[in-house]
Each structure stands twice: as structure tokens, then as C-alpha cells.
Amino acid sequence: MNNLLDLKIEGATLIGREGRWAIAIQNGLITGIAPTFATAARQTLNADGKLVIPGLVDPHLHLDKALLLEAYPAKQGTFQEALKETFNLKRSFTIEDIQTRASRVLDSEIAFGTTAIRSHVEVDPILQLTSLNALLPLKQAYAERLTLQLAVFAQEGITNQPGTEALLREAMSLGGDVIGSAPYTDSDPEKNIQIIFDIAQDFDCDVDFHLDFLDDDAPLLLPVVVRETVRRGWQSRVCLGHMTRLAGLDPTELKAMAAMLADADISVLALPASDLYMMARKDTHNVRRGIAPIQQLADRGVNSAIATNNIQNLFTPFGDGDLLKICTLVAQILQLGTTASHEACLAMVTTKAAQAIGIRNRGIESGKAADLVILDAKSASEAIGAAPPSRTTIKNGRIVSQTVLQRHFF
């Protein structure tokens, strides 16, 4: 029985195909999609008409500052409080504390169907390498269930925090996968961007910025990042989170920015759970939504995706690590109601999100990774509309999690 499959999924509903399908899996890869397979398998799953999509990918998540509300519930609920008190809380982070909170989030994400995450890892003179030392062992411990990318991240600025650049370089040499920063927190944002690209070139790694986030009148930093991306040949290796300022551009300006992004092959992530909560706090009425117009960007050829960002901390006192619920939020905010737009939303938390963080082998096709999730839904619209709780998560062709909703009526 040389051809024995590792896993066979039968009765699957697939987006873009009529009828029910079987998926053959061997050695961690999808090896075929057909109405049925005669070949035997070590394990067979009957999807019973449920929707099978590529495993969810969360391309922007802060594990080290997740679940902080127990330690500090919001008293004012303002952006200033979030900045000040999160900064204070960071002083008390320990490796064990970060690992405990991060593990809870990772378990939750896996149960919801996530098979890959890019987590930001704060590196600065206060925390030094504590976050990295907490998350590197988790990356190994979870490797069979989840691909965890660690983005070494300067949250507090670089030029205004002496010693940060050396720490960032040390973190990269210790095992960071990606380098990034939040240039708007730096007194010299352009220099901050230059330093990040210098490190990226030295370590041959991808770049990840929190960019054009604050709703102030400062000039957009996007043209600077585009210029550096092209100058250094870093096309397809740069991912930008937030980009809320794009929501405030008129159609002509947005078109110009989209063309720059598409030409430089830069990905954009909407982080609606945080942005909707934090943005436009000075608006007294008709409060702006301030979510990156990712559907319009996608229509103009920009790789656009959706991510969680924060879970239950002062910047985002909500969330459970379920990307489908974030999709629901995006669809509501951006007023996406068609079947096609819901299918596009699902791509933004699967294949497009994977592409944004440099993972190319995702999709329901032969030869792609057998990272899949079975959802208790019949269509993309139902998956986004209801975020069904019952899910089966498959990583590298192995079932790693099953959640079954039980309801009792009396």
C-alpha cells in the first residue's frame, strides 16, 4: 500500500466549485482534489458538506501584550492611558508571564482554525530581550500545530531610545524572523525607517511597519517606505499594518497611493479591532471609522489582508483570536455584502494574509500545504456572517484541534 494517504477529507464544500469534493493529503501536502478517491487513507474525515478553506493566517498579532486587562482594566479608556499604562505594565513582564498569556492566545487561535501567525516581539531598553526569550521557546513548542513567525519590533522608537538598534540586531541574531517598527513613535521617523531597512538587508529578512496610523496632519510616511522598498530591491518583502490614514484620502489620492503600493508589491493589513476603537477620538459627532480601505486597494492590485493586532489589552479591550469575527467586523465597516466580497474577505485571512508574511504555499490546490480548516458553514457568506464555533483545524496534514458546539435546551 505505497499509495496509502495520510488523510482524506470527503464531502467538502469548496469555494468556487460546485458539488462536494474529496481532498487527498500526503506528507503534509494536498495531493489531489476530486469528487472521490478510491485510495485508502490512514484517517478519513467526513466534512458532511461543510466548507473547507485554507488554514487561517493571522499576519499581525501582539502575543507579548495580549490579555493584560486582568492586570490593568481601563479606567479612562483613552489612547493616552493605553500608551502610558501599557508602557508601565511592560516593566513587570516576565518570561513566564508572557508565555502564560501567549499560550492562551495561541491555543485559542489554533482552535479557531489559525495555522500561521506573525507575532510582533517588543524589543526596547525597558523589556530588552524578555519577549523574545519568552516567545522563541513557544515557536518551537507549537511548531507542529502552528507556524509562528517572530517580528522583532521597536514599539517605542529607535533614534529616541539609545541602545535600541543594537538590541534589535541582537534579537535578529538570536532568531528573530522579521524586523519592524512603529516609525510614528520616533522623533525622526524617516531615520527610523532607514535603520529598519539597513537591518533587513544585513539579516536578509522581511520588513514589517506599523504605519500611517495616527489621525493627525503629519505627512504620510508611505512614500518614504515605498521609496526605500524600491531602492533596496525589497519588493514583496514589506508588510504595513494599520494604514488608517488611507481611509481619509480622496479617491484620486488613494488611487495614486494604491498604484505605488502595487508597483512596489507591498502588502497592507487592516487591523479593525484596534483601529475602530482607537481612531478619531477627537471627533465629537459623525465619528470617522478610520479603517484602511482594503477592498479598494485589493481592486487596484495591492495584496491586502486582515489581522487581529491586539487581544484584550488597553489598545483593544476585545477579542478572542478568531479571525472570522474580525472578517465580520471588516465586512460591516467596509459595507461588503456580496458573495464575491465575502469570498475576498476569506482570502484576506487565508491566502492573502499568508502572502503578506511571505508564505506562498497556501490554497486548496494540489501541491499546496495541507493547512486547512473545516467550518460549520456552507459558504463564505455564512462563515463571515456567523463565525460558526464548530471547527476542525488541520496543520501539515494532521488534525490538531476539533471544536464541537453542544447546545442543550430544557
Residues engaged in binding Zn ion (CB under 5 A): 309
Minimum distance from residue 175 beta carbon to Zn ion (Å): 20
For residues 221 and 225, give the distance between their C-alpha atoms in angstroms, rounded to a whole number: 7
Minimum distance from residue 232 beta carbon to Zn ion (Å): 23
